Amino acid sequence: VRRAPKDRRPSVLALANQKGGVAKTTSVASLGAAFAEQGRRVLLIDLDPQACLTFSLGIDPDTVETSIHEVLTQGASIADAVLHCDEGLDLVPSTIDLAGAEAILLPRPGREYVLRTALEGAPDDEASPAAYDIVLIDCSPSLGVLTLNALTAADGVIVPMPAEMLGHRGVGQLLDTVADVQRILNRDLEVVGILPTLYDGRSRHAREVLADVGERYGVPVLDPPIPKTIRFAEAPAVGRSILSTARTSKGAAAYREVAAALLKRA
């Protein structure tokens, strides 16, 4: 295993949207698997107390000893919490304990910087975050302290959003939060783009919304949109992403294309 030079740090991308069911978790697992296929060392961080990403990678949160909760609230290192999963992915798992983390962090000074500091890691550690090329953070459906930690730790934010929801004001609200973070917590945070998900290309409405959303919000729209496909529902049941359960599906192909485009611009 090639060790990353000490001064190198991975690219950190947060996938955030305060709405549930917009394919944040699916996109983290699928883009992560696509980056790993392309030879990158990938770390996924489950920052949602519902632990859907942890489940979807075949891990029962009840069996987890050190999770992101201990990293954020008890000073555990990322390396202590990392689990090695299928498809060449490493994961910092979540458990339901994380539901109490916001309240624990709230009175602490610098509460938004805890994840960022943890990702700086201990440089000599074999499993230090510096050894990864890419870190993907799966946010919970809220704009609370956990999501602020993700946005503060990140170089870029990707906003997964079903085409039908692109017209709603949730996008503007999230982009306002991102602007606050850029102003106060993390000047270097970049809006990588909106990732259109659950896309039904046969719907004229979906096509129209997609055509106008980039201009409307002044942010990039990632391409191609991720098509809605029944194959996605099957993947988490077996602890692997759609990239290995449905290698040749349109959805897997779309995630590979988006991942390749992201690598190219990095």
Chain residues binding ligand ADP by CB under 6 A are 20-26, 52, 141, 197-198, 226, 228-229, 232-233, 251
Number of residues forming the site for Mg ion (CB under 5 A): 3
How many whole angstroms separate alpha carbon 218 and alpha carbon 208? Answer: 16
DSSP code per residue over 95-142: -GGGGGHHHHHTTSTTGGGHHHHHHH--TT-TT-GGG-SEEEEEE-SS
The minimum distance between CB 183 and ligand ADP, in angstroms, equals: 26
Q: Residue 77, class by beta-carbon neighbours within 10 Å (0-12 exposed, 13-18 middle, 19+ buried)? A: middle
The minimum distance between CB 158 and ligand ADP, in angstroms, equals: 12
59 binds, among Mg ion, ligand ADP, none (CB under 5 to 8 A by kind): none
Closer to Mg ion at the Cβ: 24 or 41?
A: 24
Number of residues assigned to the chain:
266
Smallest CA-to-CA distance from 48 within 33, 30, 26, 76 is with: 26
**221: which DSSP letter?**
B
Smallest CA-to-CA distance from 81 within 53, 44, 111, 106 is with: 44
Residue from 22, 52, 166, 192 in contact with Mg ion (CB under 5 A): 52
Closer to ligand ADP at the Cβ: 21 or 100?
A: 21
The minimum distance between CB 8 and ligand ADP, in angstroms, equals: 30
Closer to ligand ADP at the Cβ: 24 or 40?
A: 24
The minimum distance between CB 244 and ligand ADP, in angstroms, equals: 15
Q: Residue 244, class by beta-carbon neighbours within 10 Å (0-12 exposed, 13-18 middle, 19+ buried)? A: middle
Closer to ligand ADP at the Cβ: 24 or 116?
A: 24
Query: Does residue 25 touch Mg ion according to CB under 5 A?
Result: yes
The minimum distance between CB 153 and Mg ion, in angstroms, equals: 18
Query: Does residue 40 touch Mg ion according to CB under 5 A?
Result: no
Closer to ligand ADP at the Cβ: 127 or 166?
A: 166
> φ and ψ at 170, to 5 degrees?
-55, -35
> Which tokens is 256 given?
């590979």
- Interface residues with Mg ion (CB under 5 A)? 24-25, 52
